[in-house]
Amino acid sequence: MQTTGRSKAISRCSKLFQITIITAISLSMTSCNAIGGLAATQTSTPTLPFTPTFTPTLTATPTITPTFTPSFTPTKTGTPTRTATLTLTPSPTVNPSWIFYESEWLTLYYPPDWTIEPAREFACIPGSTDCIIHLSHSLSESVDIELIRQPPMIPAYRNVTEADERYWNAVSIGATLIGAQDLLKLISRTEITVGGLMAIKRLYEYPQADPATYAIIGIQYTYEVQVMNGQDLYHFRMVTTSADEFELYTGVADELINTIIFLK
* 198-207: pLDDT as tens digits: 999 999 999 9
pLDDT level of residue 113 (50, 70, 90 thresholds)? very high
Domain boundary among 66, 81, 110: 66
In a domain, 143, yes or no: yes
pTM for this predicted structure:
0.64
For the chain, the domain total comes to 2
Residues 6+ apart with CB under 8 A from 241: 142, 208, 218, 219, 220, 221
- HSE, CB side, 13 Å, CA atoms: give it for residue 62: 3
Task: Give me the domain span that covers residue 39.
Answer: 2-66
Q: Is the pLDDT of residue 122 over 90?
A: no
- Tell me: do 118 and 59 sit in the same domain: no
**pLDDT on residue 116:** 96
Give 91's DSSP letter: G
Residue 123 banded pLDDT, cuts 50, 70, 90: confident
Assess whether 119 and 224 both reside in one domain: yes
Distance CA 193, CA 201 (A): 10
In a domain, 86, yes or no: no
